[in-house]
A and B are shown apart, each in its own frame.
Chain A
Amino acid sequence: MDIAQILANALVRAAELGLLAVGLTMVFDILKFTNFAHADYAILGAFLVYTFNCGAGLNLFLSVFLAAVAAGLIAVAIDKAIFKGFRKKGTKSVTAMITSLGIAIALRNIVRMIWTSESRTYAIPIQRPLRILGARITPVQIGILITSLVAMIGFHLLLQRTKFGKALRAISDNRVLASACAIDSEKMIQWMWFLATAFGVVGGTMIAMEHLLYPRLGFDILIPIFCAAILGGIGNPYGAMLGALVLALAENVILALDFGHILSFGGLFELGSIQIKTGYKPAISFVILVIVLLLRPTGILGRK
C-alpha cells in the first residue's frame, strides 16, 4: 500500500470539499436551514471563472476573484428576493430548505442554458506529477492545497480576530440578542451569503480544475459536501473542515486496506486478501457518518 500517495490523494480531496462544506455549514449556522443550492452557486461561479479565463483570456486568479464576487452578489440578491421575506414572516426552515432545492434546479438549468451541457476544462495544460515525500502530486494539486490552507486560515482569523467575526458569531448564537446589541443582523446575513458563496466558488473551481466542469457537477458533489458538514458537526466551520478530511481519508484509506492482512496479524496465518469492493465506495462515507452520529449525534465538533 502506497501510504504517501493515499494521504496525498486524501488531502487534495479534503482541500476541495472543505471550502464547500464550510460555506454550507455557515448558512446552516446562521439561518438554520440546509441550503441545497450551495453546490450549484459554486458551479455557477466555476462557469463564470471559465468564461473569464477561457473566454476573456483573464488570468486564472483574477477570474476566480471576479467570479467569486459575482456569484456572491447573486447569492445576496437571491437572499434579498426570497429568504429575507421568509425571515420576516418567520417561515419554517423546511420551507426555506425546499425553496433552496428549487433554486438549485433553476441555477443548474440556467447554467445549462448559458454554457450548454458540454463538459469543459480550464486553460491548464496536463501536468507531469512531481515526487514529494514519495507521493506523486501535480503543481495544480499543490496549488489547491495551498489555496485551501490560506482560505481556511483567513477564515479562522476573520471569525476570531475581527469585529465582523464576533458579530457573525453573536448572530449565530442568538440573532434577537445580537440585534439588541446594535448588530445589523440583516447586513451580517448578506455578508454571510457573500462569503459562503465566494468560498464555494473557490472550492467548486478547484474541483473543476482537477476533474471536469459540467452543469450537473454541483449535484454530483452535493452528497460528499453534506456528508463532510454533518460529519464534522453541522453549523461548525472547523467541523466542516475536519469532516472533509475524515471523509477523504475514509474514501481513500479504507479502499486500500487489506483486512485479510490485518486480521491475520500481518500474514501470520493464511487468510487471503479481503478488501472492500470498490463499488461500495459511495457507501463508505455514509457508514462512517452513521457510526460517528451514533457515538456523537452532534458530529465530531458539533455543539451539544
Chain B
Amino acid sequence: MKKCLFVMFLTVILGSLIGMSSLAAEQGPVKIGVLLPLTGTQAVMAEDLQEGFLIAQEQINAAGGVLGRRLELIIEDTETRPTAGMDAARKLVELDRVPVITGGFSSGVMLPIAVYCQERGILVVSQPPTSPLFRDVGDYIFLVNVLDNYKGKVIGEFAFKDSGLKRFALMFMNNAFGQALKQETIKNLDALGAEVVTVVDYELNKVDYKAELTRLFAKDPEAVIATFYANEGFIAAKQAYEMGLLNVDEVPWYCPEMASSFAKALEEIPEVVEGIKGLNPLAPESLFMKAFREKKGRDPITAYSAMNYDALIMIAMAINFANSADSTAIRDALPKISQWYRGQSTGGDKRFDEDGMQGFGQYSKVILINGEVVPYPE
C-alpha cells in the first residue's frame, strides 16, 4: 500500500513538473536556431552575417515579438565545416528543441544538416547556400538565396560575352556548392559554344594551391572562372600572383561568388585581385542599409547580411501567421508569407517555388577596383 502511495505521489509530482515546464515553454521566448561560420574559412564575414539576424531580432521584439513572446536566437558556430556544423545542429534540435534552424552559410555544411532536420521534421530556412541538391531533400527545407542553376548560367554568359574569348579554365571547391556550380557553369558554357579546357577541383582548408594553379593554366586558357571561400581565395590569389598567373589583362578572371571569394584578399592584398570581375547578390535595400549603418557605422561587407535579415523576418511573420511555433505550422505558412513579403536582399522578391527554393533573386555584375567591389558597367 505504502509503495502504491509513493508511486502515486511521484506521478503527481512529475506530472506537475511536466505541466509547469510546458507552461513555461509556452510563456517563454520563442527560440530560433542560428548557424553561423563564426570561425573557420568564412569567419571574416561572420560579424556582418550575425548582424543581419540581430537587426531583424531587435525589430521583431520591438514590435511585440512573435505570438506575444520574445524572439530568442540561439547562435551556434559551424566552423565552416560539415562535422562541426552537424554537431551544432544536433545541439539546437536535441537540447534547445528549436522548431526552426536558419543561416548555415555554405551548401557543403548545410546539406547534411538539411537531411538531418528533414528526417526530424525541423524547419530549415537557409541562406546563402545555393546547391540545387537542396531541392530534393524535402518539404521542410527552404532556401532564401537563388540556386546555382541561375548563377552558373549568369556567370557563363557574363564571362563568355564580356571577354569575347572561348577557351576557359575552371577552378571550384570540392564540396556540394562548388560541384553543383561547376556543373551548371560547364553546361552553360557548352551551350554557348565555349570550350572548357581544364577543370580543377580543390580541397578546402589547405595552405598550398600551387599544384592546382599550375594545372589550371597548363593548357593555356584564355580566361578563368573560379570561386573560393575567403581564406582559400586569399591564398589562391596570392599564389597565382606570385607565380605570374594572375594578370587579368592577359587572362581575365571571373568569379560567380565575389563576396565570399575575395573578402579576405580585398582586405589584405587588394592590388592582387584588382580587375577580377564576377557576380554579387544585388546590394541590400535602403531600409536594411540604414539600420546596419546606424549600428555599425559602416556598410556591410556582404549582401548576405541582408539575406539573413530577410530570413528571420519571414520566419517571424510565418510564426505569427500560423499562430504557432510548431515546425510544420511555420512550414505551411512560409510560402504564403513569401508571396507578398518585400525583402531587403537580392532585389526584394523572396517568393519560394513549389520546392521551397528561391526562384526570383538577382545577382549583379561587379568588378574589384581599388579594394572595393563596384558595379560593372554593362
Cα distance A279–B199 in the bound complex, in angstroms: 10
- At the interface, yes or no: A84 with Cβ under 8 Å from chain B? no
Which partner residue on chain B sits nearest A273 by CB separation? Answer: B219
Cα distance A264–B79 in the bound complex, in angstroms: 46
Given contacts A138-B242, A279-B174, contact A216 B39 (CB under 8 A): yes
- At the interface, yes or no: B359 with Cβ under 8 Å from chain A? no
A200-223 Cβ-contact flags toward B at 8 Å (1 or 0):
000000010011101111001100
The number of A-B residue pairs with CB atoms under 8 Å apart is 95
User: In the complex the two chains form, is A9's CB within 8 Å of B207's CB?
Assistant: no
- At the interface, yes or no: B205 with Cβ under 8 Å from chain A? yes
Q: Which of B24-32, B268-276, B281-289, B296-304 contacts A (4 or more CB under 8 A)?
A: B268-276
Note all chain B residues with C-beta closer than 8 A to A6: 211, 214
Cα distance A239–B43 in the bound complex, in angstroms: 37
Query: Number of contacting residues on B, CB 8 A?
Result: 36
B221-242 Cβ-contact flags toward A at 8 Å (1 or 0):
0000000001100110010011
Note all chain A residues with C-beta closer than 8 A to B269: 126
- At the interface, yes or no: B210 with Cβ under 8 Å from chain A? yes
Note all chain B residues with C-beta closer than 8 A to A252: 210-211, 214
Note all chain A residues with C-beta closer than 8 A to B215: 255-256, 275, 278
Instruction: Tell me which of A5, A118, A215, A216 contacts B205 (CB under 8 A).
Output: A216
A106-149 Cβ-contact flags toward B at 8 Å (1 or 0):
00000010000111010000110100000010100100000000
Instruction: Tell me which of A5, A118, A126, A277 contacts B44 (CB under 8 A).
Output: A118
- At the interface, yes or no: A154 with Cβ under 8 Å from chain B? no
Cα distance A112–B215 in the bound complex, in angstroms: 35
Cα distance A212–B43 in the bound complex, in angstroms: 13
- At the interface, yes or no: B377 with Cβ under 8 Å from chain A? no
- At the interface, yes or no: B243 with Cβ under 8 Å from chain A? yes
User: In the complex the two chains form, is A129's CB within 8 Å of B207's CB?
Assistant: no
- At the interface, yes or no: A2 with Cβ under 8 Å from chain B? yes
Note all chain B residues with C-beta closer than 8 A to A13: 208, 210
User: In the complex the two chains form, is A212's CB within 8 Å of B218's CB?
Assistant: no
User: In the complex the two chains form, is A251's CB within 8 Å of B211's CB?
Assistant: yes
- At the interface, yes or no: B212 with Cβ under 8 Å from chain A? yes
Please provide the chain A residues from 4 to 30 with a CB less than 8 Å away from any CB of chain B in the complex.
5-6, 9, 13
Cα distance A220–B269 in the bound complex, in angstroms: 23
- At the interface, yes or no: A268 with Cβ under 8 Å from chain B? no
- At the interface, yes or no: A156 with Cβ under 8 Å from chain B? no
User: In the complex the two chains form, is A256's CB within 8 Å of B38's CB?
Assistant: no
Whole-angstrom distance between the Cβ of A122 and the nearest chain B Cβ: 11
Instruction: Tell me which of B43, B200, B202, B212 contacts A117 (CB under 8 A).
Output: B43
Given contacts A118-B43, A119-B44, A279-B202, contact A211 B207 (CB under 8 A): yes
- At the interface, yes or no: B353 with Cβ under 8 Å from chain A? no
User: In the complex the two chains form, is A9's CB within 8 Å of B43's CB?
Assistant: no
Given contacts A129-B243, A277-B201, contact A255 B214 (CB under 8 A): yes
Please provide the chain B residues from 35 to 52 with a CB less than 8 Å away from any CB of chain A in the complex.
38-41, 43-44
Given contacts A117-B38, A211-B235, A212-B231, contact A256 B218 (CB under 8 A): yes
Instruction: Tell me which of A1, A212, A221, A251 contacts B235 (CB under 8 A).
Output: A212
- At the interface, yes or no: B203 with Cβ under 8 Å from chain A? yes
Note all chain B residues with C-beta closer than 8 A to A5: 214, 243
Instruction: Tell me which of B200, B202, B264 contacts A119 (CB under 8 A).
Output: B264
User: In the complex the two chains form, is B214's CB within 8 Å of A214's CB?
Assistant: no
Note all chain B residues with C-beta closer than 8 A to A127: 242
Cα distance A9–B244 in the bound complex, in angstroms: 13
User: In the complex the two chains form, is B231's CB within 8 Å of A119's CB?
Assistant: yes
Note all chain A residues with C-beta closer than 8 A to B244: 129, 136
Cα distance A229–B155 in the bound complex, in angstroms: 44
User: In the complex the two chains form, is B39's CB within 8 Å of A1's CB?
Assistant: no
Cα distance A275–B201 in the bound complex, in angstroms: 13
Cα distance A13–B218 in the bound complex, in angstroms: 20
- At the interface, yes or no: A85 with Cβ under 8 Å from chain B? no
- At the interface, yes or no: B206 with Cβ under 8 Å from chain A? yes
Which partner residue on chain A sits nearest B39 by CB separation? Answer: A117
Cα distance A217–B206 in the bound complex, in angstroms: 9
Given contacts A256-B214, A275-B215, contact A119 B205 (CB under 8 A): no
- At the interface, yes or no: A80 with Cβ under 8 Å from chain B? no
Cα distance A256–B40 in the bound complex, in angstroms: 30
Cα distance A93–B174 in the bound complex, in angstroms: 37
Cα distance A118–B230 in the bound complex, in angstroms: 11
Cα distance A210–B264 in the bound complex, in angstroms: 15
User: In the complex the two chains form, is A126's CB within 8 Å of B238's CB?
Assistant: yes
User: In the complex the two chains form, is B202's CB within 8 Å of A9's CB?
Assistant: no
Which partner residue on chain A sits nearest B238 by CB separation? Answer: A126
User: In the complex the two chains form, is A279's CB within 8 Å of B201's CB?
Assistant: yes
Cα distance A161–B295 in the bound complex, in angstroms: 64
Cα distance A198–B251 in the bound complex, in angstroms: 42
Note all chain B residues with C-beta closer than 8 A to A220: 205-207
Note all chain A residues with C-beta closer than 8 A to B39: 112, 117, 215-216
Which B residues are within 8 Å of any A CB, using their own CB?
Answer: 38-41, 43-44, 79, 174, 200-203, 205-208, 210-212, 214-215, 218, 230-231, 234-235, 238, 241-244, 264, 268-269, 271-272
A-B contact pairs, 6 of them (CB 8 A): A117-B43, A119-B44, A119-B264, A126-B238, A212-B231, A212-B264
15 new A-B contacts, CB < 8 A, other than A119-B44, A119-B264, are A2-B214, A119-B234, A126-B269, A136-B244, A207-B207, A210-B208, A214-B231, A217-B207, A220-B207, A252-B210, A256-B214, A278-B202, A278-B212, A279-B201, A282-B203
Q: Which 8 pairs, one residue from A and one from B, show the smallest C-beta to C-beta distance?
A: A279-B201, A117-B39, A211-B207, A9-B210, A255-B211, A279-B174, A278-B200, A136-B244
